[in-house]
Amino acid sequence: MVATALSKAVRMSPRKVSVVAALVRGRTVSDALTILEHTPRRPAEALRKAVLSAKANAQHNHNYKPDSLYISEISVTAGPRFKRYRAAARGRALRYARKTSHIKVVVEGDKRELKKKTADMPATNIQAKGVK
C-alpha cells in the first residue's frame, strides 16, 4: 500500500504549482526536499510541506524505511475559485477569479521488517518446570 498526502485549496494557481512539481516528480524524497528548499518560487514551500507530510505518513502509518522512499506520483489539480471584482473605468466592475490548487503526493519504498514482540514468542519450558 502506498502512502499519500493531500493539500487542498492551496492559494496558488495550479499552473504555477505544476511547474515546480515537475522538478521533483519521480525523485527520491530526500532529493526532492533538497531541490524544493533551494527553489526560489512561492509554490516550493507548499510542495515541500506536502512531501514532508507524505514522508511522515509513510513512516508512521505504513512502516516504510525513510531512506528508501521515492515520489511515485505527484499531481496538481484545480481547486475552487474565489470570485472577486476589480474597479474599472466608467463605473464598471470587472470580475476575476483567485485560483486555488489541490496537491497530491504519493510515495513508495521498502517496508521495514516488523520486530517480534516478547508476548508473541512461544512459551519456554521454565513454566513447565515450575520455576517462578
Asked if residue 71 is part of any domain, the answer here is yes
Residue 50: which domain range?
A: 3-113
Report yes or no: 60 and 106 within 8 Å, Cβ to Cβ.
no
Asked if residue 18 is part of any domain, the answer here is yes
Report yes or no: 51 and 24 within 8 Å, Cβ to Cβ.
yes
Alpha-carbon distance 18 to 74, whole Å?
Answer: 9
pTM higher than the cut 0.75:
yes
Asked if residue 38 is part of any domain, the answer here is yes
Report yes or no: 53 and 29 within 8 Å, Cβ to Cβ.
no
What domain count does the chain have? 1
- Average pLDDT of the chain is 91
Report yes or no: 82 and 98 within 8 Å, Cβ to Cβ.
yes
Asked if residue 69 is part of any domain, the answer here is yes
Asked if residue 34 is part of any domain, the answer here is yes
Q: Hey, what's the cell of 69?
A: 522512499
Alpha-carbon distance 63 to 38, whole Å?
Answer: 29
Assess whether pLDDT exceeds 60 at residue 132. Answer: no
Averaged pLDDT for residues 45-65: 96
Q: How confident is the model at residue 126 (pLDDT cuts 50, 70, 90)?
A: low
Nearest to 83 by CA among 66, 105, 100: 100
Asked if residue 123 is part of any domain, the answer here is no
CATH number at residue 106: 3.90.470.10
Please report, rounded to a whole number, the percentage of residues in the chain having pLDDT higher than 90: 83
Asked if residue 10 is part of any domain, the answer here is yes
Asked if residue 129 is part of any domain, the answer here is no
**DSSP notation for 55-99:** HHHHHHTS-B-GGG-EEEEEEEEE---EEEEEE-GGG-EEEEEE-
Quote the pLDDT of residue 98. Answer: 97
